Each structure stands twice: as structure tokens, then as C-alpha cells.
Amino acid sequence: MGFFKWKDQFSVHVQEMDHHHKKFFALLNKMYDYNKMEDGDPEFLNGLFRELSAYVLVHFQEEEKLLARAGFDGLENQKIQHQYFRDHLVKFRAQHFNGQDRIPANVLHFMRDWFLDHVLEADGQYGKYFADRPFLKMGYIP
Ligand SMILES: [Fe+2]
Ligand SMILES: [Fe+2]
């Protein structure tokens, strides 16, 4: 049993954004699996954390660009929420690189729960926004 299992109902119906979201959870699952290993290489975990952080930054940027182009009125809320998560990531990474060889379970749980909540609520709103405006699909949605 993995830590997180993607379900179709998490889709925001924007293919590239779904792809990003799935990738985030796949990286979280890898971290979770690493935590259970007895003799994992901490360098591998550091690499995973780096990849996840970089990926989240790119995703937020791409999402905000997409929403700005489409004139989505929830953009400011998205930016605030994204910044909240970024701030936490910076803190988690600082703690991690201070000599931890495992990612604390509460950090993994926080990342999973916050991200899923965000995908379902805030991101779900732009999913509906696009669904209600099929004309935006041309040229706005990658
Ligand atoms: Fe997102
Ligand atoms: Fe978002």
C-alpha cells in the first residue's frame, strides 16, 4: 500500500496540471518508501527533496501563468496559498539539511494533506472555470 493513491476525481481537467499534480504525489510516495528503508542512501533522499521542491516551484509558476492568461478571478487566492506552501517547504528543507536522515512523518503528512486539499478546492475552482468556458480551451490550456 502506497502513501498516496491518485484518483480520477482529483482531476482538474487540465491535462498538464493533472500531470504536475500526479508527479508531486509520486515524489511524495518515493519519499515515504525511502523512509521505510533500513539502509537508504541519504544522498538519494536529498535528491528527492530537491526534485520535489524544484517541481513545486515550477508547477506553481506554470499554474499562475495559465490562470493569469485566462483571466481567472481566483488567481490572487492561488498566489497566497502557493506562497504559504512554499514558505513551509523552505522551512522543511532547512530542517532536513540540518542532518536529518529521514523526513519526519508529520512533514510528509502535511505536504500530502495540504496539497490534496489545495488541488481539490482552489485548483478545482479553476477546473470548473475552464469547464464552463470551453472557448478558453483554444490557446489557453496547454
Ligand atoms: Fe496545482
Ligand atoms: Fe494551485
Summarised one tens digit per residue, pLDDT across range 112-127 is 999 999 999 999 999 9
Cβ-Cβ contacts under 8 Å for 47 (sequence gap 6 or more): none
The C-alpha cell that represents 11 in the structure block: 482531476
CATH number of 16-137: 1.20.120.50
- pLDDT of residue 1 exceeding 80, the answer is no
Give domain limits for the chain: 16-137
- Could you tell me the distance, in angstroms and rounded to a whole number, from the CA of residue 74 to the centre of ligand 2? 10
Instruction: Please identify every residue whose CB atom is under 5 Å from ligand 1, which is an ion.
Output: 63, 123
Q: What is the pTM of this model?
A: 0.92
CA of 59, nearest ligand number = 1
Q: Could you report the per-residue pLDDT of 40-79, keeping only the tens digit for each?
A: 888 888 899 999 999 999 999 999 999 999 999 999 999 9
Count of CB atoms situated within 10 Å of the CB of 94: 9
- Could you tell me the distance, in angstroms and rounded to a whole number, from the CA of residue 137 to the centre of ligand 1? 18
- Could you tell me the distance, in angstroms and rounded to a whole number, from the CA of residue 4 to the centre of ligand 1? 16
